[in-house]
Chains A and B, each alone.
Chain A
């Protein structure tokens, strides 16, 4: 197949397509397809299903950045897959991660609220802005050699489901005192090693200036971001060094005249659009279907597209919680849609714990420190807690997250309960364990989870969590969130609760 491509044809794909490197389950590469705002047509979705079947063992994942990620693809097959994606007007991440230098950083999938345009409470329909900035950066050599990868979110939903405070650039649509809709920004957030909550820019960005402001910030980072040390070249460190005031000055020098804005953290942030919800389009509903950590088979991919075509808007929306949404469903079709969803192997639920549980693709990841399947471990923990607390748990707003390494792709630092895989050596024997972080969260008082228990044996994690949840159910005051319950207690008190 490769023989049919010329050198120039192949090289012409470089600015828009690449693979990342896997290191597990005999997969050499992964293919991460960017789905801007997580919105994809059923036609595109079905073609992606075909790519998964032909090249990727019929397997795909929804990522926390609303991408579709697949494994097992070979270098030779990739060129054909890239050509199919080009026809679909889709692109991939640009992989520069493996290089030991701070170069070839790109703008990652731009995340947005998957309920944009249909959520009755939304401040502003943001998908057009996501598409516009995607057009500006895609394949644009000006933005393919940033010091490191750059993560953007643009959304105006009432629960800030995209977690803007942990993006390199998190943009939230809101109205100013004059009633004009525009954007505020958080700069330099991130959840990897040395996590940061984004710093408020404190400016009001009118809609017609948004794209130019994003481009200006990318240029400032590209031109002045440090490249001497790869580990210290992410945008969060740049914001540490420059400070928000200097970045504001840089925007001013580039001709922007943006009014100041007394920017506060959003009241609610980083939660999921759970269950079946009415759309702003009268008489229609959208249904959020939780998956098992975003893992999908070929049959499920095709089946989801079929349901969306028969009963919905011929589109699928991927959420930052690794779930999918079917839009445009009529009330009279609820039962048949639910039945078809169940037949595909999904368990529809409006339990916050099920809908907001996140796991990374540890089994394929070269950074993973564990051979324990974090996805299965999380599923086991949820089932254990559901069995122990039955109905009570269904109404509990607890966000669980698990990661196979400190990079925190599944964002454990901002979870109510975050689990990080670690290895613990005792008497020369290596044990697969987890660190347990508790009480993280975004919203009006954002905070990272505190490390309460270190190196808990993998089989005991569920028992520790059972005790903590039990204590919360018994001792919390009315309307007290799990995060607030944990916040009020010292590390020692939390340890006592977990080890009781």
Chain B
């Protein structure tokens, strides 16, 4: 619900990218975000999932969703308050 009320300003397809690219490309996106913006990403690098969640926490963003879609794909949604 929170997602629908927000502006989904970005999507990132990070599939196939090794470390540190998922983290780096997410960091760039996060800096461009405004209040209530939402960023949705898919990725398949397991270490990046934890790193991105930690980064969002560090920058005081909310991780709205971080779920395993299938055996090797994750979806993460981050919102800036």
List chain A positions with a Cβ less than 8 A from chain B. Answer: 2-3, 5, 7, 10-11, 14, 18-21, 28-29, 74-76, 78-79, 94-96, 98-101, 104
Task: List 4 A-B pairs, minimum CB-CB distance, nearest first.
Answer: A75-B20, A18-B18, A75-B23, A21-B47
Interface centre among B18, B27, B51, B71 (most CB of A within 10 A): B18
- Residues in A with CB closer than 8 Å to B1 are none
Alpha-carbon distance between A101 and B15 when the two chains are bound, in angstroms? 13
The answer to whether B44 touches A99 (Cβ under 8 A) is yes
Q: Which B residues between 7 and 49 are near A, CB-CB below 8 angstroms?
A: 16-21, 23-25, 27-28, 31, 44-47
Alpha-carbon distance between A74 and B24 when the two chains are bound, in angstroms? 10
Of B21, B25, B31, B45, the residue contacting A99 (CB under 8 A) is: B45
Of A75, A78, A94, A99, the residue contacting B72 (CB under 8 A) is: A99
| Identity of the chain A residue whose Cβ is nearest the Cβ of B21 in the assembled complex | A14
The answer to whether B72 touches A100 (Cβ under 8 A) is yes
How many B residues, CB 8 Å from partner? Answer: 19
Q: Quote the shortest CB–CB distance from B24 to chain A (angstroms).
A: 5
- Residues in A with CB closer than 8 Å to B18 are 14, 18-19, 94-96, 104
The answer to whether A18 touches B46 (Cβ under 8 A) is no
Alpha-carbon distance between A289 and B72 when the two chains are bound, in angstroms? 45
Known: A28-B51, A75-B27, A76-B27. A98 touches B45 (CB 8 A): yes
- Residues in B with CB closer than 8 Å to A11 are 17, 21, 25
The answer to whether A100 touches B71 (Cβ under 8 A) is yes
The answer to whether A7 touches B28 (Cβ under 8 A) is yes
The answer to whether A75 touches B51 (Cβ under 8 A) is yes
Known: A3-B31, A18-B19. A98 touches B47 (CB 8 A): yes
The answer to whether B16 touches A104 (Cβ under 8 A) is yes
Alpha-carbon distance between A104 and B18 when the two chains are bound, in angstroms? 9
23 A-B pairs (CB sep. < 8 Å)? A2-B24, A2-B28, A2-B31, A7-B28, A10-B24, A11-B25, A14-B18, A18-B19, A19-B18, A21-B47, A75-B23, A75-B51, A78-B24, A79-B24, A95-B18, A95-B19, A98-B19, A99-B44, A99-B45, A100-B71, A100-B72, A101-B72, A104-B16
Q: Quote the shortest CB–CB distance from A382 to chain B (angstroms).
A: 35
The answer to whether A10 touches B72 (Cβ under 8 A) is no
Alpha-carbon distance between A94 and B18 when the two chains are bound, in angstroms? 7
Q: Quote the shortest CB–CB distance from B74 to chain A (angstroms).
A: 11
